[in-house]
Amino acid sequence: MSTHTNDYVPHAPGYVDNEGPKVVTSRFPYEDSFTMERSLATGGYEGLKAALAKSPAEVAQEVKDAVVLGRGGAGFPAGIKWGFMPNIWPRYLVVNGDESEPGTYKDRLLMERDPHQLIEGCMIACYALGLNQCFLYVRGEMPLAHERIATALNDAYAAGYVGKNVMDTDVSIDIVLHWGAGAYIVGEETALIESLEGNRGQPRLKPPYFPAAKGLYYQPTIVNNVETLANLPWLMVNGAEAYKQMGSEASPGTRMLAVSGHVKRPGVYEVEQGVVSFRELFYDDNFCGGIRDDNELKMFIPGGGSAPWFFEDQLDVPMEGRTVGAAGSMLGSGALVVMDETTDAVKACLRVVRFFARESCGKCTPCREGTSWEEKVLQRILDGHGRPEDIDLLLEIGSNISPGTYPVAAFGDEGLEAVPFPPKQTTICPLGPSSVAPITSAIRRFRDEFEAKIDASSDDAAEPVGAAAGGH
């Protein structure tokens, strides 16, 4: 039955099959996990079958009861998000497979290694919401994911799991594979929708705040992350009660976490939410097995490039959205980047800031101008042309994008009580404010490193900033 022609391509590596319950990675140990045969031999489309035996409202309630938190970054409960949809048709589902947050490596694995699970999850969501059509937006730079999903969709259409009269019922739902073309900002819901409409991928002015009310073609639209939807087949087969047996009360289930950087065994791990701490993840033999060369930990990013940094002090925080948020950062997209004592804080900070400067869509002035000035000033400090006032200048630029005290863990208690995360913003979307997180984190905790670089700067510090920074 399968039409796959691409099995010569090696799997996306990095997955580590550790101990513990598995929801979304259960097929990963199989070399042929992406094929229809393997999927069907291991319970594939049983979740869709179970869903079709219920009413759409019951399926939606099950997702709500299970408290399936969004795995894309914001961690908002999918069931509640679905409830925002007004009774207006047509309505659409858009799957966000535009994974590109620095450090994030999980959705590509799910798309390449188990596309049928994702398709099944999409079908369950479409059924619950009464949708005819779903668009699966996959990042352009992931051609293997395209091939695997296209093959899986062709097979699933032929076998009657997608399309007209799904599994011999009257239910009819189309899934269309759509591909992006390289723009991080398209991960923002309204930018994703603009891109899917064939436009420049710039976020929309708010209000309307929620695509659930006005999204694709200004119709009700749900945007869900790949991993979120991949949870649904298991949930439908096993039920909300079983789902809530895993993880913590506030954050049931598991999460895929990609640990990169200076650990002995970097990898993608599926772990129960809120049960494992950062310390266990980084140091236990079941996970990363410690910092490389047994070096000291200097800092780590707990949830992708946009997240304020964590330090030794936060190692015992349980890994779930609520606790990480209370500690001054976010679990975001499950991207953990570990940096040991050999890391140059200014250099690391510059690299993350540079990302936001390059990816700013240019719509809002504070972000377009601010992120590039942040990059230029940091570059000047790193190049040995820093000025004493540069540290305050960086903080001031940041506060023009994201006013007020920025609640990063590096501030200690004083910062945390000032404002909740996420911070205020002078921009339409959180991209600009995200560039402030590494700056405030690094300056607050490693101000001496900035000062040392500035003190060592040469006499030609008066060189214009543009000339020092070059450009890109």
Which residues in the 313-372 window bind another protein by CB under 8 A? 335, 337, 339, 343, 347-348, 351-352, 355, 358-359, 361
Among 25, 225, 260, 372, binds another protein (CB under 8 A): 260
Question: For 227-258, b where at least 16 C-beta lie within 10 A, e where not — what string?
Answer: bbbbbbbbbbebebeebeebbbeebbbbbbbb
Q: Does 38 bind another protein (CB under 8 A)?
A: no
The pair of structure tokens assigned to 339 is: 């940096």
Among 117, 190, 195, 379, binds another protein (CB under 8 A): 195
Q: Does 198 bind another protein (CB under 8 A)?
A: yes
> How far is 123 from 104, CA to CA, in rounded Å?
25
The pair of structure tokens assigned to 332 is: 């975001």
Among 29, 37, 41, 57, binds another protein (CB under 8 A): 57
Among 22, 38, 49, 178, binds another protein (CB under 8 A): 178
Among 181, 205, 250, 418, binds another protein (CB under 8 A): 181
The pair of structure tokens assigned to 310 is: 């964590």
> How far is 212 from 82, CA to CA, in rounded Å?
7
Decide whether 1 or 462 has the Cβ nearer to another protein.
1
> How far is 252 from 133, CA to CA, in rounded Å?
29
Q: Does 272 bind another protein (CB under 8 A)?
A: no
Residues paired with 254 in a beta bridge: 272
* Closest separation in Å from C-beta 130 to another protein: 3
Q: Does 154 bind another protein (CB under 8 A)?
A: yes
* Closest separation in Å from C-beta 295 to another protein: 12
- Side-chain-side CA neighbours of residue 137 (13 Å): 31
Question: For 9-28, b where at least 16 C-beta lie within 10 A, e where not — what string?
Answer: eebbebbbebeeebbbbbbb
Among the residue ranges 24-32, 49-57, 203-211, 272-280, the one whose residues contact another protein (CB under 8 A):
49-57
* Closest separation in Å from C-beta 200 to another protein: 4
Q: Does 209 bind another protein (CB under 8 A)?
A: no
* Closest separation in Å from C-beta 91 to another protein: 9
Q: Does 206 bind another protein (CB under 8 A)?
A: no
Q: Does 264 bind another protein (CB under 8 A)?
A: no
* Closest separation in Å from C-beta 332 to another protein: 13
400-459 binders of another protein (CB under 8 A): none
**Closest CA relative to residue 163, chosen from 134, 203, 140:** 134
Q: Does 211 bind another protein (CB under 8 A)?
A: no
Helix/strand/coil percentages in the chain, nearest 5 = 45, 15, 45
292-311 binders of another protein (CB under 8 A): 301, 305
93-132 binders of another protein (CB under 8 A): 99-105, 107-108, 130, 132
213-252 binders of another protein (CB under 8 A): 217-219
Task: With beta carbons less than 8 A apart as the criterion, state whether 202 and 363 touch.
Answer: yes
Among 17, 37, 83, 169, binds another protein (CB under 8 A): 169
3-class SS at 247? strand
> How far is 369 from 330, CA to CA, in rounded Å?
26
